């Protein structure tokens, strides 16, 4: 086993609680696996060792590594909290009357149905997913409902009684179905661990926990019960990478480990085997002002030297996208394939125009944390409307998609209309149901209009009530619509726009040998790439405008920085919405307003426009329109991915 001195100490640890503070890229998985192998070699039966992770993939990877280290199949009990809990409950006979799992889709469907009731009208505008997050936080933090509302959903305070009633209805419905949601599995497991019968997990003599900083209060309570008889727990984590407070995980859990597990020892891993020292110096500097974490100074264990990270200041949003695409192609020509490069961002809102540019330039990519802009249902529907209005020849598919969103037109009616059109009849001459007559003729009135700001705004005003449920928060979706419209306005020619962008919506890159990665920072955690670009390092983006936890935003930037192995670039935008550079850059570089390259300790480059026209502000989306508002980040989409895989 090739281990550095600190890793060796962790592996050789005898008994009792141990906290292993493992910085990014310091070989924590290797250390964990070597620790398990050492225990087995010392005579501990493999089935008496429990390994808890947060994804099934991580559990499987660690088990495979252990098998390779031991050169044999080792029946270590490894899995996610939820999978181990489920197996324990099943073996104890507690799940005999369970009818099934009340999954995310079923939860959202039930809540959506409840919100349509008259009694819940006052809270009907909130997303079902937000209520699901609230229910989960109540369980995982073990806090009172009113405290959760005050801390995470302050705008709900005036509706707390209604929300309590909705939660009660939700629980009543689950009980009626005899079904569990995923949090119920952990709650039931916690109670079962207090019973007279020992579960399989309780019979284990050693417990190892990965990503301890991501555990909730409920999970820590479970861990205490699991190791009550022996205290042989080894927790591996990094409070600097604690970025899931929205689902009940806090960095303080690391510093409180010795309070939760009396007599705990601690070790720190700071030797990094991923990144160059230049990137690590940059990462260390980004956390100098961090609060609530244990400071670590990462140092590179690699021989190779790299270049300083670049901070690029854009004078116009579009310019940075072209610069990124140019750099992606350059890196590929230098031997860094697309799949070894990544573009990271705080929210999908910050990568919309980049997606358009990637599509235009034919760079294949995969996206994590949310759907591609071109895969979203509302974009396809709006693109169909654009095609109907601006195309010289209306395609039947676009017409079909347009008619499908018109109220009063069912599939059979749409089929009849398309048949009449194929027989030479004009849409305006076809007899339509009364309910759909005005909407269809208003859609026809848009045809052959000029592509300009006013016409596009009118088209958006017409289509949004048809595409969206107006009772829901559609700010993110509207932002997508505005982005597509703005790109069309710049192109000024539908056929060119269709060829460059819309047509590429149908191109499937899933079988491509190498795909560039686009990812939210949350979804990038635990991954690494040779070259990393971080978008929109601005106030309003990192940190997010709506964030109530600035320190977690700082840790998010740190997580993004430490994904890079050799090359790192950060982009500061200067657009209508994002004007100020992020406060987190203050320790990294002295910012100066300049139109030329500036010399600092860190590489800072101003992306200069090719012409004066590039200095024009993006005036298409007016300030008072809802689409200009920065919507919730993709963190909220990740919120609904529970701790299981």
DSSP string spanning 577-591? S--SBPGGGTTT---
280 close to 300: Cβ distance less than 8 angstroms: yes
Q: What is the sign, positive or negative, of the torsion defined by CA atoms of 345, 346, 350, 351?
A: positive
Q: Is 248 among the annotated ligand-binding positions?
A: no
Report the distance separating Cα 390 and Cα 450, nearest Å.
8
114 close to 192: Cβ distance less than 8 angstroms: no
Residue found by looking up tokens 């298409």 in the block: 620
Name beta bridge partners: 267: 20
Q: Is 639 among the annotated ligand-binding positions?
A: no
Report the distance separating Cα 414 and Cα 432, nearest Å.
10
Give how far Cα 239 sits from Cα of 214, 243, 644, Å. 9, 9, 20
Q: Is 24 among the annotated ligand-binding positions?
A: yes
Alpha helices by DSSP H, listed for 275-316, are 277-286
* Phi, psi at 265, each rounded to 5°: -100, 165
Q: Is 490 among the annotated ligand-binding positions?
A: no
Q: Is 26 among the annotated ligand-binding positions?
A: yes
Contacts of residue 285, defined as CB under 8 A and 6 or more positions apart, other chains included, come to 587, 588
| DSSP annotation of 315 | S
298 close to 272: Cβ distance less than 8 angstroms: yes
644 close to 629: Cβ distance less than 8 angstroms: no
| DSSP annotation of 230 | T
Q: Is 46 among the annotated ligand-binding positions?
A: no
Cα 80 to chain centroid, rounded: 19
SS3 of residue 27 by DSSP: coil
Q: Which residues of 585-594 are buried (b: 16+ CB within 10 A; e: fewer)?
A: beebbebeee
- Binding positions: 22-29
Annotated binding-site members for ATP = 22-29
């Amino acid at each position: 086993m090739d281990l550095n001195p600190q890793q060796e100490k962790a592996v050789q640890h005898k008994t009792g609680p141990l906290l292993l503070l493992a910085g990014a890229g310091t070989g924590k998985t290797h250390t964990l696996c070597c620790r398990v192998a050492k225990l087995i070699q010392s005579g501990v039966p493999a089935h008496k060792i429990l390994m808890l992770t947060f994804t099934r993939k991580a559990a499987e990877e660690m088990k495979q590594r252990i098998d390779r280290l031991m050169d044999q199949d080792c029946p270590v009990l490894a899995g996610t909290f939820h999978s181990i809990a489920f197996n324990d409950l099943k073996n104890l006979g507690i799940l005999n009357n369970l009818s099934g799992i009340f999954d995310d889709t079923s939860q959202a469907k039930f809540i959506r149905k409840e919100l349509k009731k008259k009694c819940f009208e006052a809270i009907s505008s909130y997303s079902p997913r937000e209520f699901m997050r609230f229910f989960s936080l109540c369980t995982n933090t073990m806090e009172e409902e009113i405290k959760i509302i005050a801390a995470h959903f302050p705008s709900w305070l005036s509706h707390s009684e209604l929300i309590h009633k909705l939660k009660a209805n939700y629980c009543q419905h689950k009980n009626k179905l005899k079904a569990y949601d995923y949090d119920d599995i952990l709650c039931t497991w916690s109670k079962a661990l207090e019973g007279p019968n020992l579960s399989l997990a309780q019979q284990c003599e050693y417990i190892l926990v990965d990503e301890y900083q991501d555990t909730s209060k409920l999970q820590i309570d479970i861990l205490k019960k699991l190791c009550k008889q022996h205290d042989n727990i080894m927790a591996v984590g990094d409070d600097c990478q604690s970025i899931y407070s929205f689902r009940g995980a806090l960095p303080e859990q690391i510093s409180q480990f010795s309070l939760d597990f009396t007599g705990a020892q601690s070790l720190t891993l700071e030797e990094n085997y991923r990144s160059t020292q230049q990137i690590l110096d940059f990462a260390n500097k980004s956390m100098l002002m961090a609060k609530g974490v244990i400071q670590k100074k990462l140092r590179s264990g690699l021989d190779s030297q790299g270049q300083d990270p670049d901070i690029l200041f854009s004078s116009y949003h579009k310019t940075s996208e072209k610069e990124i695409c140019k750099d992606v192609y350059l890196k590929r020509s230098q031997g860094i394939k697309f799949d070894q490069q990544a573009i990271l961002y705080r929210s999908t809102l910050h990568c919309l125009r980049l997606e358009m540019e990637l599509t235009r330039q034919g760079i294949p990519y995969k996206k994590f944390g949310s759907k591609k802009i071109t895969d979203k249902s509302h974009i396809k529907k709006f693109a169909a409307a654009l095609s109907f209005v601006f195309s010289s020849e209306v395609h039947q598919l676009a017409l079909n998609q347009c008619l499908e969103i018109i109220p009063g037109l069912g599939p059979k009616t749409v089929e009849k209309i398309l048949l009449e059109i194929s027989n030479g009849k004009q849409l305006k001459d076809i007899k339509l149901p009364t309910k759909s007559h005005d909407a269809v003729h208003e859609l026809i009135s848009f045809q052959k209009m000029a592509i300009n700001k006013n016409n596009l705004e009118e088209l958006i005003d017409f289509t949004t009530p048809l595409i969206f449920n107006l009772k829901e928060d559609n700010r993110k979706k509207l932002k997508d619509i505005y982005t597509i419209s703005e790109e069309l306005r710049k192109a000024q020619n539908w056929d060119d726009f269709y060829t460059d962008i819309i047509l590429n919506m149908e191109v499937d890159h899933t079988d491509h040998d190498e795909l560039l990665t686009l990812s939210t920072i949350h979804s990038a955690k635990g991954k690494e790439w040779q070259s990393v670009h971080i978008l929109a390092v601005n106030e309003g983006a990192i940190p997010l405008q709506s964030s109530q936890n600035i320190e977690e935003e700082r840790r998010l930037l740190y997580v993004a920085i430490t994904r890079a192995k050799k090359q790192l670039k950060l982009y500061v935008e200067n657009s209508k919405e994002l004007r100020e550079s992020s406060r987190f850059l203050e320790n990294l570089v002295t910012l100066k307003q300049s139109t030329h390259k500036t010399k600092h300790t860190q590489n800072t480059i101003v992306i200069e426009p090719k012409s004066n026209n590039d200095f024009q502000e993006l005036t298409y989306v007016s300030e008072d329109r809802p689409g200009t508002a920065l919507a919730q980040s993709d963190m909220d989409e990740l919120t609904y991915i529970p701790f299981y895989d």
